[in-house]
Amino acid sequence: MLTQLLFGECYQTIAMTSDQQWFKILHEDTGIQGWIATHALKEIPGADYYKFLNTDFQVVTSPIAAIEYLGTNLYLLPGSRLHFSDLELFNWQDHIGFTGSVRSHALKASRTELIDIAIKYVNAPYQAGGRSIFGLDERQGFELIFGIAGYSWKSGQIPGRKIDPELVLPGDLFIFKDLETAHVKYALYLGAEEVFWMDNKIKVSDLTEWETFLRSSKDKQVEIETRSILS
């Protein structure tokens, strides 16, 4: 699995198989391309599509949320989208029977809010391409967490700026790069000498454990970077 689509996310079709059973799509947020089966394709008018891209929406932040849909509950994962703005003239939650918590995507999260979002993924097991609490890809997982917090992170293009390690603040990233394999590992600094990172599952540990992991790769060509995405 290359990646995983969440409810309400936007994508474009860019190719299809000759039998029209599979469509190649471009995921707007990450820039990742992949194939989905025709029965999973949901087509909407172009005007609605570009409206969704260019207006505010609500992002699910609770581990599980639900909306009433066709007489039953539709369950939503963190990062799912509901295309309603805080500027609506009516209370959209009253009209669709929503249970859970959301935040406005147009608002950039504070460092405390970012960490609160991240902590919900603790113990999520590793799954290549996964973007949920039931299975999380390391790189795409960090992209998703920052995306929920209102910060754009295209696949492979880390936003923000490099900082000196001694200037690190809660919500900043430690980035470990193996220059031989191009493999990258991330750790989100939580404060109080603790980091949030992936080691077969998402975990919180002290910096000493993270540094021990780094020392296990000391014979490799490596690069360590400290980066701040939040302003």
| 60-78 residue pLDDT tens | 999 999 988 778 888 999 9
- Tokens 């000196």 label which residue? 164
Q: For residues 163 and 174, is the Cβ–Cβ distance under 8 A?
A: no
120 and 223 assigned to the same domain: yes
Q: For residues 65 and 76, is the Cβ–Cβ distance under 8 A?
A: yes
Average pLDDT over residues 86-101: 67
What is residue 89's predicted lDDT score, i.e. its pLDDT? Answer: 43
181 Ramachandran zone, left/alpha/beta (phi>0; psi -120 to 50): alpha
Q: Which residue has the higher pLDDT, 48 or 94?
A: 48
Domain region containing 84:
55-107
- Among 29-43, 112-126, 143-157, 211-225, which range has the highest average pLDDT? 112-126
74 and 175 assigned to the same domain: no
What is residue 188's predicted lDDT score, i.e. its pLDDT? Answer: 97
What is residue 94's predicted lDDT score, i.e. its pLDDT? Answer: 62
61 and 48 assigned to the same domain: no
Last residue of a domain, one of 23, 38, 54: 54
CA 191 to chain centre: 21
State the average pLDDT for the chain.
89
pTM of the entire predicted model: 0.89
Last residue of a domain, one of 26, 54, 82: 54
191 and 207 assigned to the same domain: yes
69 and 118 assigned to the same domain: no
Which CATH number goes with the domain that contains 1?
2.30.30
Query: Which distant-in-sequence residues (6+ apart) come within 8 Å of 164 by Cβ?
Result: 226
Can you tell me the distance from the alpha carbon of 59 to that of 133, in angstroms, rounded to the nearest whole number? 15
Number of domains in the chain: 3
40 and 62 assigned to the same domain: no
What is residue 92's predicted lDDT score, i.e. its pLDDT? Answer: 57
128 and 224 assigned to the same domain: yes
Can you tell me the distance from the alpha carbon of 140 to that of 158, in angstroms, rounded to the nearest whole number? 11
What is residue 148's predicted lDDT score, i.e. its pLDDT? Answer: 96
Can you tell me the distance from the alpha carbon of 138 to that of 212, in angstroms, rounded to the nearest whole number? 19
Residue 87 has pLDDT above 70, yes or no: no
Q: What value, to the nearest 5°, has the Cα angle with vertex 67 and ends 62 and 72? A: 135
**pLDDT-based confidence at 218, cuts 50/70/90?**
low
Last residue of a domain, one of 16, 35, 54: 54
In tens, the pLDDT along 186-211 reads 999 999 999 999 999 999 999 889 88
121 and 177 assigned to the same domain: yes
167 and 178 assigned to the same domain: yes
129 and 209 assigned to the same domain: yes
Can you tell me the distance from the alpha carbon of 45 to that of 104, in angstroms, rounded to the nearest whole number? 24
Q: Where are the alpha helices (DSSP H) in 42-193?
A: 46-54, 92-96, 111-119, 138-148
- Among 42-46, 127-131, 178-182, which range has the highest average pLDDT? 127-131
Instruction: Residue 146: name the closest of 132, 159, 133 by CA.
Output: 159
151 and 195 assigned to the same domain: yes
In tens, the pLDDT along 126-171 reads 999 999 999 999 999 999 999 999 998 887 788 899 999 999 999 9
Q: What is the 3-state secondary structure (H, E, C) of 28-78?
A: CCCCCEEEEEHHHCCCCCHHHHHHHHHCCCEEECCCCEEEEECCEEEEECC
Q: For residues 86 and 56, is the Cβ–Cβ distance under 8 A?
A: yes
Query: Which distant-in-sequence residues (6+ apart) come within 8 Å of 113 by Cβ?
Result: 103, 149
Query: How, if at all, do strands 58-60 and 22-27 pair?
Result: unpaired
Q: For residues 78 and 120, is the Cβ–Cβ distance under 8 A?
A: yes
Q: Which residue has the higher pLDDT, 149 or 91?
A: 149
